[in-house]
Structure 1
Amino acid sequence: MAGEELLELKFRLIDGTDIGPCKYELATTVQALKESILSQWPQEKENGPKSVNDMKLINAGKILENNKTLAESRVPVGELPGGVITMHVVVRPPTVDNRSEKPQSDSPKASRCSCSIL
């Protein structure tokens, strides 16, 4: 019966490589999944996440919320018993880039067209 309460998940990175598969209980939170991914992240990969907040998990086109469990997120188990569910991992760009974009976001505002049609 305990085997029925476990989901086998793997996490697909943007370059097509996978982390896992590993088995998780339905009561596991999305944040705990992200912590697991963070601890298993390949060290040779560039631009890896620095924290749990730097990643998003996507399953069946739905972004999963950190505070929800797998059961609450309604993760589809699939039609085949014992099948592996693949979730996609999206990593937010480093915060250094966000700081450098602030001046750039001001410049398009200054160069907007102010034409008027009469």
Structure 2
Amino acid sequence: MSDDIELKFRHVSGDIGPLKVSGSSSILQVKEQLYAQWPKDGPVSTDKPSAASDLRLILGGKFLDNSETLNDLRPSMGELKADTVVTMHVIVRPAPAGKPQTSKEKKEAQQGCGCTVQ
């Protein structure tokens, strides 16, 4: 039996894949492979993540942890035959609103205004 698992990713704008991934791959490695092969055209391309860490994968209603391997998740995938394609849902985390703050700006915002009233 092959260690490879075929994965299809369901996104709100359409499906991605299937991608053939080793069963020993971690969820983080799956996210990196998905990010590298993200569609460059079509409806899904408009929601391209800025990094693999922006992706959240869901299997069986559960968010997957980056350290889990696909082999760890086999019980949730049901019986895997040679032609089985496992569907996971993928969510792209939205970019943070506004420009990113520097550590100095964050500290100033936490301390409040530097004004004094005399």
> What is the TM-score with the length of structure 1 in the denominator?
0.69
Q: Provide the C-alpha distance between the structure 1 equivalents of 2:39 and 2:20, rounded to a whole number of angstroms.
A: 19
The equivalent of 2:26 in structure 1 is: 29
Structure-2 residue corresponding to 1:70: 70
Residue 15 of structure 2 corresponds to 18
**Structure 1: distance between partners of 2:89 and 2:99:** 23
Deviations 1:26-66 (A, max 9, x none): 11110111011111112242231111221100011011111
2:4 aligned residue: 6
The Cα RMSD (Å) is 2.1
- How many residues get paired? 96
Within-5 A mapping of 1:89-100: 89-96=90-97
Residues 83, 43 of structure 1: alpha-carbon distance in 2 compared, 3 angstrom cutoff: same
Contact 1:29 1:68 in 2 (8 A): yes
Inter-partner Cα distance in structure 2 for 1:98 and 1:12: 30
Following TM superposition, by how much is the alpha carbon of 1:22 offset from its aligned partner in structure 2, in angstroms? 2.1
Change (3 A) 1:59 1:30: same
**1:47 touches 1:93 (CA, 8 Å); kept in 2?**
no
Amino acid at match of 1:32: Q
CA distance in 1, matches of 2:75, 2:49: 23
Aligned counterparts, 1:42-61, within 5 A = 42-44=39-41, 45-61=45-61
- SS of the residue corresponding to residue 29 of structure 2 reads helix
The one-letter code of the counterpart of 2:11 is L
| TM-score, length basis structure 2 | 0.69
Kept after mapping to 2: 8 A contact 1:55/1:89: yes
The 3-state SS of whatever aligns with 1:72 is helix
Q: Which residue of 1 aligns with 2:85?
A: 84
